[in-house]
């Protein structure tokens, strides 16, 4: 790349950065001046041709028609940048502009004055519509949208050279536009790389805690059949039970319920508890 080309690139970018805002400001001023001149013409028509209007109330006439056209222009811009259809607002905008142009036309006396007066509101709406188109193009460029670009001259030349190919290519360009860009707000839900909508993950069910297996007690040696704690006995009864146990041991056998009942007068259930406690602890409970 040549050095002069490198030096020209920053200057071109700088010129473009200030030229576009200045152009938009000039076009907006032209629109304001056109509406202002139309206001004066409609105000004069209200004072001279309408009964019951004075200098103050005659301003209601331009405020109604030119103000309505200006409001519809703003609504057209708002609908356009949000992806909604602006057909009704644009039709109302040009409808009120036509009424204003007609009033300016019939109010003047000569043909030249009628043409100039009728062209004032039309010029204001036309140049302001250009401002709205530029603002919408900037909005689409900032948000990654692709604007429709049409070059009638080149399209006509190509159609004259290759009619069938141009028609097929033009048809393909139109059919490639997604439907959600033409109808609605132009919002599409996010999709997965394979082009299908990503389903929402299903909530995981609450899993109950795993039940704890019951712990079995460790086996003990010589586990008695009846593991009941014996009653508390007074010392004389304990001495008698020990004597019965010594006697049974001398005979080479275990202490039994009959041995206990032989030395103390108790019921069979209490005697079983005493025998079980002796077998577990080695002695009756004192």
d(CA 149, CA 21): 22
Residues 116 and 82 in one domain: yes
Residues 134 and 108 in one domain: yes
What pLDDT is attached to residue 279? 66
Residues 69 and 13 in one domain: yes
Residues 164 and 29 in one domain: no
**Residue 52: left if φ>0, alpha if ψ -120 to 50, beta else—which one?**
left
Instruction: Name the pLDDT band for 199 (thresholds 50, 70, 90).
Output: low
Residues 42 and 142 in one domain: yes
Task: Please give the average per-residue pLDDT across 81-96, as a whole number.
Answer: 80
pLDDT at residue 56 tops 50 = yes
Residues 126 and 163 in one domain: no
The maximal CA–CA distance of the chain, rounded, in angstroms, is: 155
Residues 9 and 142 in one domain: yes
Residues 85 and 172 in one domain: no
Q: What are phi and psi of 185, to 5 degrees?
A: -90, 0
DSSP state of 127: H
The tens digit of pLDDT for each residue in 127-173 reads: 877 777 777 777 777 776 665 667 778 888 988 998 888 888 888 88
d(CA 276, CA 255): 10
What pLDDT is attached to residue 96? 92
Tell whether 127 is covered by a domain. yes
Average pLDDT, the chain: 74
- Domain region containing 252: 235-281
What pLDDT is attached to residue 78? 81
pTM exceeding the 0.75 threshold for the entire prediction: no
- For 225, residues 6+ apart whose C-beta sits below 8 A from its C-beta are 276
Q: What domain count does the chain have? A: 3
Residue 40's nearest CA partner among 25, 62, 22 is 62
Residues 133 and 10 in one domain: yes
Instruction: Name the pLDDT band for 241 (thresholds 50, 70, 90).
Output: confident
The tens digit of pLDDT for each residue in 256-272 reads: 888 887 888 777 788 88
Least confident of 4-8, 92-96, 255-259, 278-282: 4-8
Residues 15 and 58 in one domain: yes
What pLDDT is attached to residue 149? 66
List, in sequence order, the alpha helices (H) in 108-190. Answer: 111-142, 152-161, 163-175
Least confident of 25-29, 144-148, 239-243, 260-264: 144-148
Tell whether 207 is covered by a domain. no
Tell whether 88 is covered by a domain. yes
What pLDDT is attached to residue 270? 80
3-state secondary structure of 197: strand
User: Does residue 99 contact residue 91 with C-beta atoms inside 8 Å?
Assistant: no
Residues 14 and 77 in one domain: yes
């Amino acid at each position: 790349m040549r050095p002069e080309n490198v030096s020209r690139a920053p200057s071109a970018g700088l010129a473009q950065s200030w030229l576009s805002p200045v152009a938009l400001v000039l076009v907006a001023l032209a629109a304001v001046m056109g509406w202002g001149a139309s206001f004066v013409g409609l105000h004069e028509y209200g004072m001279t041709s309408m009964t019951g209007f004075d200098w103050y109330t005659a301003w209601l006439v331009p405020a109604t028609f030119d103000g309505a056209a200006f409001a519809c222009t703003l609504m057209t811009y708002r609908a356009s940048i949000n992806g909604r259809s602006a057909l009704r607002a644009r039709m109302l905008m040009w409808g009120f502009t036509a009424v204003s142009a007609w009033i300016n036309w019939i109010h003047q006396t000569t043909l030249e004055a009628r043409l100039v007066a009728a062209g004032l509101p039309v010029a204001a709406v036309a140049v302001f519509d250009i401002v709205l188109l530029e603002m919408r193009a900037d909005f689409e460029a900032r948000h990654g949208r692709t604007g429709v670009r049409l070059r009638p001259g080149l399209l006509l030349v190509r159609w004259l050279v290759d009619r069938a190919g141009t028609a097929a290519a033009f048809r393909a360009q139109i059919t490639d536009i997604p439907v959600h860009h033409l109808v609605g707000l132009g919002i599409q839900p996010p999709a997965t790389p394979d082009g299908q909508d990503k389903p929402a993950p299903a909530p995981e069910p609450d899993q109950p805690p795993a039940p704890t297996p019951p712990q079995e007690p460790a086996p003990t040696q010589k586990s008695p059949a009846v593991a009941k704690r014996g009653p508390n006995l007074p010392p004389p009864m304990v001495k008698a039970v020990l004597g019965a146990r010594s006697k049974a041991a001398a005979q080479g056998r275990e202490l039994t319920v009959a041995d206990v009942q032989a030395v103390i007068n108790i019921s069979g259930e209490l005697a079983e508890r005493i025998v079980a406690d002796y077998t577990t602890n080695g002695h009756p409970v004192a």
